[in-house]
Structures are given as C-alpha cells and as structure tokens.
Amino acid sequence: MTRFLTLLCILCSVGGLSAQQLRPGFDGKEYRELLEIFLQQIDTVKSDLIPAPARSKRLYRSPESELKNRWELWKRNDGVGIISIRGTTSDLPSWLENFYAAMIPASGELQLDKQRTFRYQLSKNPKAAVHVGWTVGLADLSVTLIPKIREQYAAGVREFLLMGHSQGGALAFLTRSYLADLMEKGELPKDLRFKTYCSAAPKPGNLYYAYEYEFLTRGGWSFTVLNSQDWVPETAFSLQTLSDFNDVNPFKDIKLVLKKQKFLVRLYGNRVYNHLNRSTRKSERRFRKYLGKVVYSQIRKFKPDLVQPKYVEVHNYTRAGVPVILAPDDKYPALYPDSSKGVFTHHFLEPYYYLSKRYYPD
C-alpha cells in the first residue's frame, strides 16, 4: 500500500509539471511580469514603480548582434520558459535597423554574409510583406534562439511566453511567425506552445502579413499592448496604393468601367484616376529608395557582407495582433505630462506598467 501511494504521488507530481500553465486571453499580471523581466535588460535605467521579477530566473543572455539585437531566456517557477527580446538601444546600428524600413517578401532568404543564408517563411500569402530591418534582426537572433528552445524542450519545457517592447515587440511578431514555420516543417517540435505579448510595438508588415499572423494566433494567443498616447506604434510610415487591395476589387478594372461612360465622365474619371495612382506610386518609390537603398548603404558599415535584398513595391504597414489599448486615466497627465523634450515619455515601460495595473489589476 505504501509503495502504491508513493507511486501515485510521483505520477501526480510529474503530471503537475507537464500540465498546461498558459491560458489564452490577456492577463494583466502576466504582462506586468514580462515588463519586469524586460526591464532587467536595460542595464542603466531602473524604476521604483516596476519591481524585480519575483517568480522567474534568468538562464541565458545572448550576445549582441552587429545591429545591437539581444534576447534573454528566463524560466518561471512553474516551468514556463520566457523569451524576452530587447528593444532599441541608443546605439546608431539599432536605430538604423528601425529606419531600414523598405519591405521585402514575407517568404524568402537573406544573404547575411559569405557563409550564411537565412531562409524564412513568415507568411504563405504571396502578397504578404515585412520590414526588412527587423527581418535582419530576426535572422541574427535565430542563431542562438532556436538552439536554446531545443535545449529547453529536451529539459521538459513545452510552453513559452514570447515578449518584446518597442523594437523588441516588432521582432516578437516576426519571431512568432518564424517559429510557427519551423514547427510546421518539423524543425521544432509540434507540441510547443507560445503566447506572445508585443508591447508598444511598431507595425511589422503589411495587411496580408497581419491577416496570417492573426489567424495563426487566433483564440487569444497574441496581444499588441498600446498606450494610446504613444507615437511609436503608429510607425512605420504607411502608404496604401491601388495595388495593395485583394485581386478582386472594383479598382482593378476601373479603366474598362470608365470606357463605358460618356465622353466627359470618361475624360474626368481617367484624369482623376491617373493623378491619384501616379502620386501614390511616386511616393512609394521614394519610400523604397530612402528607407531601402539609402539606409542599406549605412547598414553595410556594420554588416559589410549583407547582400541588399530585392524590395517589394509595397509600403502599406499595418498593426498586427489583438490590440489591448491602455487609455490614460485622470491621473496620467500629471504623472506623464506631454513634453517636446521627452518624445518617449509615453513609450517607456513605466506608463505601460501603470496603466496596465490601473485597468487589469491582479
């Protein structure tokens, strides 16, 4: 009888360790714990408002890439792994990654140097496009990230929280898409579970990337948390042209429709259509030139062997993930007043932590 009880206790213990800990849906306490962990990557800035993480331990900090990307691996005391991706630093290469904002196909490859080609599929939709700079950042992070996930899986970890703030949030989007593709191809175990929090994140790609990302994470497994006073989630610059619509749309054959109209209607309609189409296409070419070729010339100072990819003729950035909006309350203006000298006042961790606690208490 004693042996039976001992065996039963062991089985219950093992079952508890392997039981699912993560649940779908936004969890304010869970999000704030991730902010606490994220703050530990900021070596020079601490906060009295945000405490140190109480139930998680850091296992690994990656080396910095040429563009200053870095991530950390933490583990919660219930066995959940945590991937925390650092945001923009004050270093020039980190900012160049943000401004390298031309778009590339969401499926393809990047020639990073003479020895390494990064192959990726972040969406199966041929119309999907993503931010080139952050895709380069993903490529650099993947060198250490994928082996560490496999290592943790071998140690029994099946669930991960994936998080980033600011640039780290944008990278979290792309990382989640990349991990899903590796799982589908059998390069990562299929029973892994990820829950993603993209905090203060800028827009990672176009509408067709967002469609697929939101379908992938449907059911409450990814959130983009936004302070409505924060300007960073409003970037990157976005421009919609007539070619950004689905193939079946009323604008595709507009000239055929106009041909059936009376002469004056046809003349005026063609003039308006051509003017609008030419102006948006011209603007898109400018975005592609300055945020693609020109910034690439600066990126090469830090990644000299990076081969310039072919950019797509798209610049229609859009938000992805289920939005969790943190609207300022009555006390917020006094705590975090607008200031032309503090353009990141509403973007820092403290207002996000404060507002999430205000609306999503423990």
Paired strand residues for 332: none
Q: What is the per-residue pLDDT for 239?
A: 84
Q: Which domains does the chain have, with CATH numbers?
A: 23-359 (3.40.50.1820)
How far apart are the C-alpha atoms of 156 and 151, rounded to whole Å?
9
Q: What is the per-residue pLDDT for 247?
A: 76
Q: Which two tokens stand for residue 238?
A: 């976005």
Q: Is the pTM of this model over 0.85?
A: yes
Strands (E), 168-251: 193-199, 205-206, 222-227
The SS3 of residue 237 is coil
Closest CA to 31 of 326, 347, 312: 326
Q: What is the per-residue pLDDT for 254?
A: 59
Contact indicator for 180, 212 with CB cutoff of 8 Å: no
Q: What is the per-residue pLDDT for 264?
A: 57
How far apart are the C-alpha atoms of 191 and 248, rounded to whole Å?
37
Averaged in consecutive runs of 10 residues, what is the pLDDT profile of the chain (362 residues)? 47 51 97 97 75 96 97 97 96 97 97 95 97 98 98 98 98 98 97 98 97 97 98 92 75 58 58 67 89 97 97 95 97 93 93 97 88
How far apart are the C-alpha atoms of 31 and 360, rounded to whole Å?
10
Q: What is the per-residue pLDDT for 14?
A: 42
Contact indicator for 168, 197 with CB cutoff of 8 Å: no
Q: What is the per-residue pLDDT for 8?
A: 44
Q: What is the per-residue pLDDT for 19?
A: 78
